[in-house]
């Protein structure tokens, strides 16, 4: 069922912490470009305990929500329906409210990763490496299930994380091999490296960038560039940044929430770049 088209003019991003989020900048830029002057997009700091109450208080003017950590899994029991994409990684980053009040959960991170790579000319890879094993790593693995024809090596810090990534691989039908983080420098020779770790985690790897690196997808966008991304670019490698992912997943969110397509990707990207430059 489509989202409310006439009386739903509010949307927001939820999470904790949330003050850093660029989502309001991107969505508001989209509303401006689409001529949706009556639409608004806000941010609210909400944790797992506060999420049920927040959802219950929403009125019929609400079109949808963007969710960040720690809510992507906590929201699932509160939804009426979850897309196959979101169910594949047990993570929802998008909720759309229908005219009859149903809550539909989706994941735009996975197709967003694929779209960001495609924009940089990456349609298919023979193998890949993932740095990290958190929620973003599982979405990266799901994206690789669509474009990687061979092995994925995940570099992690513990056997528990390694086991989790192998389970995700089995679930997503991706050939996953795990390696210890102490060998993470080996990842940098892969045709595609996806860094999913928090800020500063990969800084020590910058010195190990090979002379002819292939493609790095670093999901961070602030601070940018990371030391790894800067070194990668200096050696002539292709770099896909976190803003690329943020914009592409937000494009899909705007389309689902407003029912308008295509969303204005270029306008949203310019707004995001401007906001980051002013920080």
* Sign of the CA dihedral with 31 first, then 34, 36, and 37 last: positive
**34, two tokens:** 């689409």
Catalytic one of 28, 72, 161, 256? 72
Q: For residues 137 and 269, give the distance between their C-alpha atoms in angstroms, rounded to a whole number.
A: 23
Is the preceding peptide bond at 223 cis, omega within 30 degrees of 0?
yes
Name, in order, each residue with C-beta under 8 angstroms of 61's C-beta and a sequence gap of 6 or more.
Answer: 7, 8, 9, 10
What are the CA-CA distances from residue 38 to residues 9, 11, 133, 176 (Å)?
6, 11, 40, 47
Among residues 205, 201, 207, 252, the alpha carbon closest in space to that of 223 is found at: 201
Three-point CA angle 246, 249, 251, nearest 5°: 105
Task: List, in sequence order, the alpha helices (H) in the chain.
Answer: 23-34, 51-56, 84-89, 109-119, 135-147, 159-172, 227-234, 242-258, 265-277
Helices 159-172 and 135-147 cross at an angle (nearest 10°) of 40
Please say whether the beta carbons of 194 and 140 come within 8 A: yes
Tokens matching residue 85: 């994409």
Q: Is 72 labeled as catalytic in the residue annotation?
A: yes
Residues 195, 173: Cα–Cα separation, whole Å: 21
Active site residues: 72
């Amino acid at each position: 069922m489509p989202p409310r088209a006439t009386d739903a003019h509010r949307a927001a991003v939820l999470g904790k912490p949330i003050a850093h989020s660029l989502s309001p900048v991107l969505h508001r830029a989209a509303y401006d470009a689409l001529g949706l002057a009556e639409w608004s997009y806000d941010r609210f700091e909400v944790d797992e305990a506060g999420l049920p109450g927040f959802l219950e208080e929403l009125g019929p003017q609400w079109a949808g929500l963007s969710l960040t950590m720690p809510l992507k899994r906590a929201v699932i029991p509160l939804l009426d329906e979850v897309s196959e994409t979101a169910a594949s990684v047990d993570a929802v980053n998008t909720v759309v409210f229908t005219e009859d009040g149903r809550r539909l959960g989706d994941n735009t991170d996975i197709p967003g990763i694929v779209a960001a790579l495609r924009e940089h000319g990456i349609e298919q890879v023979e193998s890949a490496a993932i740095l990290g094993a958190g929620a973003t790593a599982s979405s990266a693995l799901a994206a690789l299930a669509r474009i990687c024809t061979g092995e994925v090596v995940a570099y992690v810090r513990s056997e528990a994380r390694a086991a989790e990534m192998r389970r995700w691989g089995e679930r997503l039908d991706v050939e996953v091999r795990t390696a210890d983080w102490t060998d993470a420098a080996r990842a940098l020779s892969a045709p595609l490296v996806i860094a999913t770790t928090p800020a500063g985690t990969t800084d020590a790897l910058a010195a190990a960038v090979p002379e002819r690196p292939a493609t790095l997808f670093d999901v961070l966008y602030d601070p940018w560039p990371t030391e790894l991304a800067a070194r990668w670019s200096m050696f002539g490698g292709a770099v896909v940044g976190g803003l690329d992912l943020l914009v592409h997943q937000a494009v899909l969110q705007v389309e689902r929430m407003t029912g308008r397509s295509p969303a204005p990707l270029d306008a949203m990207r310019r707004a995001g770049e401007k906001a980051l430059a002013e920080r």
